[in-house]
Amino acid sequence: MSTPAPTFPAPGTVRPDDGRALAPVAFATREEVGAAIARARAAQPAWAATPLPQRQAAMLALGRVILERRAEILEILNAETGRSPLECLVSEVIGTLDFARSANKVAAAALATEKVSLSMVDHPGKRAYIEALPHGVVGIIAPWNYPLINFYKHLFPALLAGNGVVMKPSESCPRTGAWLAARCADVLPQDLVQVVQGAGDVGAALLTEGIDSITFTGSVATGRKVSALAGERLVPCTAELGGKDAAIVLADCDLGRTVAGIVYWSIHNAGQNCASVERVYVEEAVADAFVQRCVAAVGTLRVAPQDGTADLGPLHTAPQLWLVEQHVADAVERGATVLVGGQRTGSGWGYAPTVLDHCTHDMRVIREETFGPILAIVRVKDAEEAVRRANDSGYGLNGSVWTKDLARGEALARRLQVGVSLVNNHAIPAIMPEMPWTGVRGTGPGVANSRHAYPAYVRRRGVLVDSNRQADPWWFPADANLAAFAEAVVQRSIGSFVGALLTLLPLLGKRQKAIREFGGG
Ligand code: TXE
């Protein structure tokens, strides 16, 4: 069920918690985007030539300055998202220096030159290696839901790899991106990190104005557009998109811990997390007890009181609030029961944390990304049904199984068609630079974090040095000895290795002579 969308305030112009106006931020023109790329490009070669240990030290300085000046960013985040400074501190700021430390370790491995092991028989005298070179200037396009962390998880590795960076914050959270760019300017070479403000046209201008690689985080619809534009220009692109994560609650779980974990991962950041638990499949045997405890726990959560102790903030935008209301209304119409919440808080874009019981797969709240503080419960007969239903989704980011039987949980979690499988936790790898953050289906195959994310930041160059004084035996001229040589090579592969070698050796001598003569002696 959906009704036509009403008119909403322009993104980023009002506080989500009380609707007060925010100071406007100027958007960049296409020419200004081009100029920002050019400035970063001019600064990048010197940065790329800076030894890795110095780049790593700069990352620690960046992580440190973010922490030292946390009061400023917490105020900005609070204004732009309506979340309490405490929630912003815990979810986005607290870990910056630790993240930088771990990102430094990952970079050391990801950027190390790889020796290639070549067969001395097939490639005598040849030595080869693979090196990692920065793309040049990396564009980072971020969404609004974690406006700081969605930058720095890409910013650290992009810079460690020796790139310049142009950041494009969401038009909903421009001030957070601007503050982060200013902190980069505090500790990094001048112009290396740029920020351009604006909506989708400014994001697209990064590509049309010549960015060298693009890292996109956001919705599926935009991810497709960005990937297509990057594809046309043959620009490396990685896209991390939405999710509809499932959690499976088995009858033997530790009920208290499971309820606490699932309520947190459903409702943290008002559910505006690509890896929120948006569907809970609970085994019938434990369903009543699980639901009862969830209702009691969710009923205690407080939205956006200004005393600094809120458990969660409001929804980030008016369209988001409207979408959540649509999903709840659709679920109720199709037979779900609202056990707690289910309405606005009355302040800003606040929506009360909600438990929906008896959800089914025909409901939007189970099929589409909701991005709201909704704990949607589907009761299932057993674990098999749970796995089948969990995999029945257009997305695949995280999936978790909650049980005391770790071996069974692990086996079930590994049957989930997702990028990150967990037992007794959810979404936590997002803040682990060592762990890949990736997905399947609509979530997209893009990878953030870990050495596997590095194609977004580096290209590989293979280098081969040949010290063999003999020519390669298949060079010109083609002659009868080449034909015999080729046949002997085939025999070496499929027939007798030793026999073929005995044939090859004299032929090699003849081929060398012919090739030398061909080359003029
Ligand atoms: O996305 P949008 P939003 C997902 C989350 C949800 C979405 C919410 O699941 O689906 O992000 O973020 C810019 N060319 N994830 O609503 O609208 C736009 O200005 C270039 C996934 O902000 O797609 C903004 O800066 N850029 C996740 C950014 O794209 C364009 C983690 C995102 O906007 C553009 C967090 C265009 N044509 C959120 N149009 C994960 N999987 O890790 C818009 N933009």
Give the distance (Å) from ligand 1 centre to CA of residue 285.
39
- Percent of the chain scored above 70 by pLDDT? 99
The yes-or-no answer on residue 240 being catalytic is: yes
pLDDT of residue 521: 84
The yes-or-no answer on residue 131 being catalytic is: no
Q: Which residue ranges have their beta carbon within 6 Å of ligand 1? A: 141-145, 150, 168, 170-171, 199-200, 203-204, 217-219, 222, 225-226, 240-243, 274, 369, 397, 443
Q: Which of 92, 151, 219 to mutate to test the pocket of ligand 1 (most atoms within 8 A of CB)?
A: 219
Under the banding of pLDDT at 50, 70 and 90, the label for residue 7 is: confident
Q: Which of 240, 283, 368, 369 is catalytic?
A: 240
DSSP-derived secondary structure letter, 363:
S
Give the distance (Å) from ligand 1 centre to CA of residue 386.
30
Stretch 263-273: mean pLDDT: 98
Contact of 157 with 434, CB cutoff 8 Å: no
Secondary element (H or E) of residue 481 = helix 480-494
Contact of 314 with 348, CB cutoff 8 Å: yes
Give the distance (Å) from ligand 1 centre to CA of residue 275.
14
Contact of 333 with 2, CB cutoff 8 Å: no
Secondary element (H or E) of residue 498 = helix 497-518
Atom of ligand 1 minimally distant from the CA of 141: 25
- The pLDDT tens digits for 453-463 are 999 999 999 99
At residue 1, does pLDDT exceed 60? no
pLDDT of residue 2: 59
| Residues 12-29: b if buried by 16+ CB within 10 A, e if exposed | bebbbbeeeeeeebeebe
Q: Which of 184, 274, 294, 359 is catalytic?
A: 274
Contact of 313 with 85, CB cutoff 8 Å: no
Share the mean pLDDT of the chain.
96
- The pLDDT tens digits for 335-362 are 999 999 999 999 999 999 999 999 999 9
pTM: 0.95
